[in-house]
Chain A
Amino acid sequence: MDILPILSTLRRHKLTSWLLILEIALTCAIVCNAVFLIGQRLQRMDMPSGVAEHELLQIQVADVMPPSNPYTRLAEDLAVLRQVPGVLSVASSNQVPFGSSSSNGNIMLDPTQRERTLNAGTYFGENLAQTLGTRLVSGRDLQPDDFVDVDTAMKALGTGDSKGLPHVTLITRTLAERLWPGQNPLGRIIYLAPEVGLRVVGVLDSLARANAYDAAKAQYTMVVPLRMGANKDQSYLIRTRPEDRASVMAAALAALKKADPQRVVTTQRSFDEVRRKFFQDDRAMAGMLVGVIAALLIVTALGIVGLASFWVAQRRRTIGVRRALGATRRNILNYFQTENFLLATIGIALGMVLAYGINLFLMLHYELPRLPAVYFPVGAIVLWLIGQVAVLGPALRAAAVPPVVATRSV
């Protein structure tokens, strides 16, 4: 296919050609980045929680009058829940992975260091690892005699007396690897405050924090043996079989209500709902990006159709002359296809540069990673295809121009 005649024709439509190139370049740049953003969001929504997601239920209840002893109240509630048919395991927790409220602590490796080492999610509650279904990879689980009442601990913290404080903790594998890379974390000490040193006794496979906004820090969590009393911020966690979830939830609520008809249930949901709610904005954003990509590609395709139709109509006479001089229909078809391919190629090349620029801007302002190179060829192929599909109709119409047009004066 001879490219030179095409180029010389395009030179006569410089402005229009450049506009089309610009449109393709902008579309290419935006689509590349949008697809990349969708990928990021989908990857985020896949973030592991480390718990048995399809087997967990969360219930929060609030008392109208504070119970006289919140600790016995909590123990009674857990006992009530354990009696519900279908319940496999029960725990109370101050937070759940991807939950709406979080509890966090600043970790130090040395009580005298000036800057904290990092910030980690702090889970408090008995029987937590087992109920959540997170696996212990080394060491031991927390034992009942590790636990301290939170009131006692707070008092001890105020007086600087280390007796009433917890002394051990479980941490995740990711946190252990971050704090002591390549070393055995068991027996090492983490400081939550200068007087609160916790010895690592067990390592959990995985457990996400409640406020898992940053994927890199989502697994920075620890379980501290603090016994919490019943209050509106505590969650009752129930492990059951996936198919029993609805019936167990109903029975558990009924049992709790029966134990105290005055209280108010403030949260009742499965862990699936917890995850769905936490990532709802990501899902909405991904949906919007898909919509924008579709709209962009359609507008660009229609623009190409419109412009090509114009050119075909404008060059009817020229096409007729070429046909009369011996050009086949196929030659005419190829001419318009090649023309579009050339314009698309220049547009895509410009678009790549622009895509890279937009990505740099996003990296600066939205903490996004660099656009992987694989998006460039994919974006190019998509736009080439769109261009060829869009130009096919007008090109076929051009090919159908009869040679006799050459002999007519317009």
Chain B
Amino acid sequence: MFGYYLDLALRSLKRNKALTVLMVLAIALGIGASMTTLTVLHVLSGDPLPGKSGQLYYPQIDPQDIRGMDPSKEPPEQVTLIDGLNLLRAGRADHQALMSGGSVPVQPEQSSLDPFYVEARYTTADFFAMFDAPFLYGHGWTAADGEAKAREVVIARSLNDKLFGGANSVGRTLRMAGTSFRVVGVLDSWQPNPHFYDLNTGSYAYGEQVFLPLQTMLELRLDRNGSSDCWGNGGGGVGNILPSNDCVWLQFWVQLDSPAKAAAYKEFLVHYSQDQKALGRFQRAPNVRLRNVMQWLDYQMVVPDDVRLQTALAFGFLLVCLVNTVGLMLAKFMRRAAELGVRRALGASRRALFAQLLIESGVIGLVGGIGGLLLAMFGLWLVRQRPSAYAALAHLDLSMLFTTFVLALCATLLAGLLPAWRACQVTPALQLKSN
């Protein structure tokens, strides 16, 4: 029966070519627009470290002075150097890393290359294990090396390709900012999106080329990038002057493998705040937060508002396209009331008619879906031409491909339901008599 209905549907669609094209085009445009924007939204709100992000937490404590205190307010979004080092050395989590962003000048040995600046991350030893950063060669530095301000560096694969022709460069020397560093590891291509561990340096499509021990950076006073917030008489953070201890400017991440450990860590943060208050460093009552990666990204509202707006707009457009298609299909099915009446009179059940009409709308949905997919690919190509930082990430993945087809089919079947049901209500006798 399915083959016969399909044949009937194709015949009917061929009879009104312009109308069929119009319906297919409307569906395709609607699907194309909504899938383009939905894919961008999906990419931007994705999990940067699937499987791991639930165990990574971003502790926040409140070291600010009493001025402007309001217990309902959120604590600062970064930590001071002294608190960061205290929490790091307390070592209460399974892994912990203190970090800041920056940029350093690389002075290649080859005379053919001019010095150039690369993005840098100054961090502590656990960073690589905690964030599952994949090593191509070598490994990270040890905690002891970090504390000893070792002149050691981990470089990204792209920099390794540029400077060492992609060879295993572990043990080689890299000159940066007038200092010689020993390469201890080369990271394979690695760029979590969003750049969750430090959103100040750019949320998307941002990756560091070199990773240096934080203590080494503090000693050498390397250039820092990112935001610093000060209170009271806090200052600094300009040129080579480090922000003072009344300024938050570092990110501190911990890995806590179970919810129980997370609860215990939060307890620890409260105790730490109380201790610091007793010591006279903190003035405020403990005000702590402990968010995991996805909660942190959500709180930081990392997905641009414009992207949400565009998605809503595209779905509004899809809705108009669907209403359009429902209207046209209804008109078309009603026009065939006489034919349907004859089929009913000859013994076809309502269910059979309904199935036949649904297959007709399903064909439109399928063709519209394929058209929509092509349009979505074109739309994503257009998005990639845009100058936004996230533009380069706009690619269709398998799950979105599947979603496109499900969306197209569901949308059109849904759109076909109402007209098909309405057309099945025809009274055979009335239709046969009227002519």
Contact = CB atoms under 8 A, between A and B. Distances in A.
A311 B235 CA distance: 75
A295 B33 contact: yes
A184 interface: no
A16 interface: yes
A157 B117 contact: no
A366 B103 CA distance: 34
A264 B115 contact: yes
B68 A296 contact: no
Given A280-B388, A288-B310, A303-B26, A193 B328 contact: no
Nearest to B37: A288
A266 B26 contact: no
28 contacts: A15-B330, A15-B422, A16-B330, A22-B323, A23-B327, A26-B316, A26-B319, A63-B105, A64-B178, A65-B178, A66-B240, A103-B238, A115-B68, A116-B68, A150-B241, A154-B236, A158-B244, A195-B233, A228-B238, A229-B239, A233-B239, A264-B116, A299-B324, A302-B26, A307-B331, A309-B19, A313-B335, A366-B305
B239 A306 contact: no
B317 interface: yes
Given A26-B319, A62-B105, A307-B327, A150 B239 contact: yes
A66 B313 contact: no
A27 interface: yes
Contacts, number: 163
A67 B326 CA distance: 72
Nearest to B331: A310
Given A150-B238, A303-B327, A310 B332 contact: yes
A215 interface: no
Nearest to B418: A15
Contacts of A409: 435
A-B pairs with lowest CB-CB distance, top 10: A19-B327, A303-B324, A231-B239, A310-B331, A64-B105, A65-B178, A23-B323, A26-B320, A157-B235, A306-B328
A65 B241 contact: no
Interface string A391-410: 00000000000000000011
A149 to B, nearest CB: 11
Interface string B310-343: 1001101101110110111011101100000000
Given A66-B240, A194-B233, A306-B22, A289 B324 contact: no
Contact of B330 (A19, A151, A366): A19
A55 B107 CA distance: 35
A362 B308 CA distance: 11
Nearest to B389: A281
A187 interface: no
A207 B327 CA distance: 55
B221 interface: yes
Contacts of A292: 33, 313-314, 317
Interface residues of A, number: 67
B29 interface: yes
Interface in A1-41: 15-16, 19-20, 22-23, 26-27, 30, 34, 37
B150 interface: no
A272 B240 CA distance: 30
Interface of B: 18-19, 22, 25-26, 29, 33, 67-69, 103, 105, 107, 114-117, 177-178, 221, 223, 232-236, 238-241, 244, 304-306, 309-310, 313-314, 316-317, 319-321, 323-324, 326-328, 330-332, 334-335, 386-388, 418, 422, 435
Interface in A284-321: 284-285, 288-289, 292, 295-296, 299-300, 302-303, 306-307, 309-311, 313-314
B326 A19 contact: yes
A20 B327 CA distance: 7
B132 to A, nearest CB: 31
A284 B323 contact: no
Contacts of A160: 233
Nearest to B386: A284
A158 B360 CA distance: 78
A44 interface: no
Contacts of B310: 285, 288
A266 B117 contact: yes
Nearest to B306: A285
Interface of A: 15-16, 19-20, 22-23, 26-27, 30, 34, 37, 62-66, 70, 94, 103, 114-116, 150-151, 153-154, 157-158, 160, 193-196, 228-229, 231-234, 262, 264, 266, 277, 280-281, 284-285, 288-289, 292, 295-296, 299-300, 302-303, 306-307, 309-311, 313-314, 362, 366, 409-410
Contacts of B29: 295, 299
A228 B309 CA distance: 42
Given A154-B235, A299-B321, A302-B22, A231 B240 contact: yes
Which of B116, B221, B316, B335 gathers most chain A CB within 10 Å?
B316
Given A30-B316, A306-B22, 11 more contacts: A16-B330, A23-B327, A64-B115, A64-B177, A151-B241, A154-B235, A157-B235, A232-B103, A232-B223, A264-B116, A306-B327
A94 B320 contact: no
Contact of B19 (A295, A306, A311): A306
A34 B310 CA distance: 10
A228 B239 CA distance: 8
Nearest to B320: A26
B388 A284 contact: yes
Contacts of A195: 233
Nearest to A102: B227
A147 B115 CA distance: 34
A279 to B, nearest CB: 11
A280 B241 contact: no
Contacts of B67: 114-115
B33 to A, nearest CB: 7
A206 to B, nearest CB: 25
Nearest to B321: A299
A344 B325 CA distance: 18
Given A62-B117, A66-B240, A299 B320 contact: yes
B223 A62 contact: yes
A60 to B, nearest CB: 11
Contacts of A314: 335
A151 B221 CA distance: 15
Nearest to B30: A299
A194 B65 CA distance: 12
A310 B177 CA distance: 76
Contacts of A302: 22, 25-26, 324
Contacts of B386: 280, 284
Contacts of B69: 114
A30 B304 CA distance: 21
Contacts of A410: 435
A94 to B, nearest CB: 7
A309 B17 CA distance: 13
Contacts of A280: 386-388
Contacts of B321: 299
